[in-house]
Structure 1
Amino acid sequence: MRITFYAPFKPLGHARPSGDLAIAASIAAYLERHGHVVSRAGGTRMRWIYWRPWRWPAILREYRRAVREHLRRPADLWLTYHAYYKAPDLLGPSVCRRTGVPYVIFQGIFSTKRRRRIQTLPGYLLNRKALTSASHLFANRREDLRNLRRLVAEDRLTYIRPGIEPSLFGFNAEARAGLRREWAVGEAPVVLSAAMFRPGVKSEGLAWVIRSCGRLNRAGIPLLLAIAGDGRERARLVRLGERHLPRRVRFVGKLSRENMHRFYSAGDVFAFPGIRESLGMVYLESQSCGLPVVAFDNGGVPEVVANGETGLLTPPFDGPAFDRALAGLILDSGLRGTMGANARSHIRRSHDVEKNYAGMEAILSELVTGKQA
């Protein structure tokens, strides 16, 4: 198939890493590995585009370019990744209506509460129009699937389990030994955390882990905390670390996704609460490397972490419960080992994109075959 791939929220190749970008890249890479020709549409971020009129001329140029390309060399299908009220798809529905190409959305998100505020009403209406015009929609969160059922017929919806390529996130003994020497950690358990240091729930989640580890350390539990990431909140988080975990926290900076498996290999537990986390690729990646997880039981986290089997999920914002879960894994090496092995198997069994995206590929092929019939 010839597939036009479009990511209105964060285009492929964007400089700022995120879980959304990783998922979009994994879908495109999967399709290319399986022999499909994937061409990228657009390049302008659509975030709050309806309140940024200075960007509208660029969107119009991208629309005209996409129409010309489709009329000259038609694609078999248009696939948009992640359409919601903040970043509605303004290209796909219009281009497909003009050219007769089937239109599909992966991770379409629908929420009626967005129609209640003037700030979000335009995005709600534009996104609703895109969702209802799609031939098929895929959801990688069950909550999103439930919400889409309020708008779209069941036969146009499919749930796809979130996944990664487990071969990219395997345990590396050499990296473990090298990083632990560099951190001068000795035999003490290492707690890992990772997120972009941006204002809001990401930095607050890291602050939560720092405070929790600080309480455990003051209680006499030996540990080292290592945090991967960078951003505007770095100075504040470093000060917080110095106050709560003096000499027991390492900030390792922003790491490429290709090197994250080395970071995960050096740890014993991965801790990040995931405040209202939609999914959390770090949970998939860290489990794939054999780490048990400690996080909040909220958002999309329970869809990727098996509570009591591959990690421990606690009530959101329950500090004592989070501390107990983290302490239990730090102090019990046997439990860590069992949950870590379970985590590695869990990812390969349930969250391998080679298995999970096969269903998506089959439906896309059916849509193209039906159009050509």
Structure 2
Amino acid sequence: MKIAFYCPNKPLAHPHPSGDLIIAQGISRELNRAGHTCKEIAAFRSRWFWKTSRGWREALIALRAAYRAAHDFHPHIWLTYHSYYKSPDVLGPAISRLMGIPYVLFQPMYATKWRKDPETRIGFYLNRLAIKASHHAFTNNLNDLEALGRILPPRRITHLPPGIFPEDFQHDDEAGKAVRLHYGISPDTPLILTAARFRNDVKFESLVYLFKSLALLGRFRKDFVCLVAGDGPMEEALRRMADALLPGRVIFAGRIPRHELFRFYSAADLFVFPGIGESLGMVFLEAQACALPVVALKTGGIAQVVKQNRTGILVPEDGGEAMARTIDQLLRDPEHLKALAANGPRFIRNERNLRWNYLELARQLEKIRTIAL
């Protein structure tokens, strides 16, 4: 089966890593591995395009180019990953209709609040048109199911749980020891790991929350180190905050390639990231796959990727007090930590395994194509 693939938010070759980009690349790779030909048909990034006349012109140019590419490719189905109010799919609905092939969405997002704001209203309606035009919508977030159900019948919506490829993230004791040695962290020093892009948004808010929480933790204990993996435009502000709140306790490791992150997960005792505004959070899955217990806020979709009291602890958002006390309690209870760590890889392998999820996606796409014939 030939699949025309499109990612309106971030094309597959986008230089800045993110959870969305990783998911899109994984879908493309696994569909090809399953024996299909999944080809990215357009690289047009539709994010906020309607705000300028230039954006509209680029959208029209992209529409013509994508139609020519699809016409030459002769796909059996069109699959778009992640259409939402900021980056609606304005190519797939038109081209799939012209070519007479099924139009399918993976992880569309829909919320009526965006039609009330003049800045987001056009994006909302363009995204709404895309969702309504779809033959089927797949979502990996339970929180999106109810919203999608407002404009699509249940038979046209399928939930596939979020996940990762377990073989990409496995605990490596020797690699973890090497990371500690590299940064001068002794084997018996409690090590808290966090990882994020330093953007001026909820990622930055989460790191600020974490540093404030760790400052509170400093009232209980003085023997911990926080290792921060990531970079971005807010790095200088974060370094100043770390120096003020946690002098000598925070090490900035810079951006770590994703394929090297298992070494850092293997070095730590806890993975802690508040996850403010996180719809899911790939880093939580990666940490658990490497047998690293998680501490995060009980917010958004994090409960879908962290099993409470089984692979980690989710705490209320109270300014950082609950997070600080939970970290302290876990570090004082090595048996509890060991139990949480042991459960993580099993949870990922058995319940959050993308290898199985994307095989099911491939089967469903074949079924949709057959029905449409």
Q: Indicate whether the TM-score tops 0.5.
A: yes
Which segment drifts farther, 61-70 or 167-176? 61-70
Deviation at 1:99, TM superposition (A): 0.7
> Identical aligned pairs, as a percentage?
40
Deviation at 1:73, TM superposition (A): 3.3
For 1:88-99, list aligned pairs within 5 A. Answer: 88-99=88-99
Q: Report the Cα distance in structure 1 between the residues aligned to 2:139 and 2:319, rounded to whole angstroms.
A: 30
Deviation at 1:117, TM superposition (A): 1.5
Deviation at 1:284, TM superposition (A): 0.5
Deviation at 1:36, TM superposition (A): 1.2
Q: Which residue of 2 aligns with 1:243?
A: 244
Letter in 1 for 2:218: N
Which segment drifts farther, 61-70 or 331-340? 61-70
Runs of 4+ in structure 1 off by over 3 angstroms are none
Q: Which residue of 2 aligns with 1:167?
A: 167
Residue 60 in 1 paired to residue 72 in 2? no
Which segment drifts farther, 50-59 or 247-256? 50-59
Letter in 1 for 2:147: N
Q: Report the Cα distance in structure 1 between the residues aligned to 2:339 and 2:40, rounded to whole angstroms.
A: 43
Letter in 2 for 1:92: G
Q: Report the Cα distance in structure 2 between the residues aligned to 1:106 and 1:276, rounded to whole angstroms.
A: 20
Q: Which residue of 2 aligns with 1:112?
A: 112
Which digits, 9 at most, give the CA deviation of each residue in 1:236-275, with x for residues without a partner?
Answer: 1111111222222110001111111111111110000100
Q: Which residue of 1 aligns with 2:330?
A: 329
Q: Which residue of 1 aligns with 2:372?
A: 371
Letter in 1 for 2:71: L
Given that 2:213 and 2:319 are in contact with CA atoms closer than 8 Å, whether structure 1 keeps it comes out as: no
Q: Report the Cα distance in structure 2 between the residues aligned to 1:315 and 1:222, rounded to whole angstroms.
A: 25
TM-score for both structures, normalised by structure 1: 0.97
Letter in 2 for 1:76: H
TM-score for both structures, normalised by structure 2: 0.97
Deviation at 1:57, TM superposition (A): 2.5
SS of alignment partner, residue 164 of structure 1: coil
In structure 2, runs of 5+ residues without a counterpart are none
Q: Which residue of 2 aligns with 1:234?
A: 235
Given that 2:3 and 2:76 are in contact with CA atoms closer than 8 Å, whether structure 1 keeps it comes out as: yes
* Count of matched residue positions in the alignment of Structure 1 and Structure 2: 372
Q: Report the Cα distance in structure 2 between the residues aligned to 1:33 and 1:205, rounded to whole angstroms.
A: 36
Given that 1:275 and 1:316 are in contact with CA atoms closer than 8 Å, whether structure 2 keeps it comes out as: no
Given that 1:276 and 1:298 are in contact with CA atoms closer than 8 Å, whether structure 2 keeps it comes out as: yes
Given that 1:138 and 1:159 are in contact with CA atoms closer than 8 Å, whether structure 2 keeps it comes out as: yes
Given that 2:82 and 2:108 are in contact with CA atoms closer than 8 Å, whether structure 1 keeps it comes out as: yes
Residue 279 in 1 paired to residue 280 in 2? yes
For 1:158-197, list aligned pairs within 5 A. Answer: 158-186=158-186, 187-197=188-198
In structure 1, runs of 5+ residues without a counterpart are none
Deviation at 1:318, TM superposition (A): 4.3
Q: Report the Cα distance in structure 2 between the residues aligned to 1:322 and 1:78, rounded to whole angstroms.
A: 44
Q: Which residue of 2 aligns with 1:70?
A: 70
Deviation at 1:196, TM superposition (A): 0.5
Letter in 2 for 1:130: A
Which segment drifts farther, 153-162 or 59-68? 59-68
Letter in 2 for 1:312: I
SS of alignment partner, residue 42 of structure 2: coil
Letter in 2 for 1:253: G
Q: Which residue of 2 aligns with 1:270?
A: 271
